[in-house]
Amino acid sequence: NAGVMQNPRHLVRRRGQEARLRCSPMKGHSHVYWYRQLPEEGLKFMVYLQKENIIDESGMPKERFSAEFPKEGPSILRIQQVVRGDSAAYFCASSTIAGESDTQYFGPGTRLTVL
């Protein structure tokens, strides 16, 4: 049973370009969460999605960031017009149900570097 998969593992972009990060949840999981980890910090919640729905985007920056989880295919975190401050590790997690006690399983992360 494959775990949460993320690609690419490393992504380099120049300022102003777009970054697309992909996340395939574990088999049977329909809830996806995105987190961002800045250097020397813990992970910060960004957005929670179910298939075709954004449930909670309270942690998403208001501009340039968007996320989707289509009926078919992986969840995508999209960052438009990247800036140096977007450089971070982005982690995706998935769970079978939503709830405070349900375990979230994390992918290996995508490390974004903005030049």
Cβ atoms of 43 and 35 closer than 8 Å:
yes
What track of x and - describes contact with another protein for positions 78 through 97 (by CB under 8 A)?
-------------x-x-x--
Q: What does DSSP assign to residue 22?
A: E
Using the contact rule CB under 8 A, the part of the chain among 13-21, 62-70, 76-84, 107-115 near another protein is 107-115
- How many other C-beta atoms are found inside a 10 Å radius of the C-beta of residue 18? 11
Count of other CB atoms within 10 angstroms of residue 27: 9
Q: List interacting residues with another protein (CB under 8 A).
A: 4, 31, 33, 35, 40-45, 48, 55-56, 58-59, 91, 93, 95, 98-109, 111
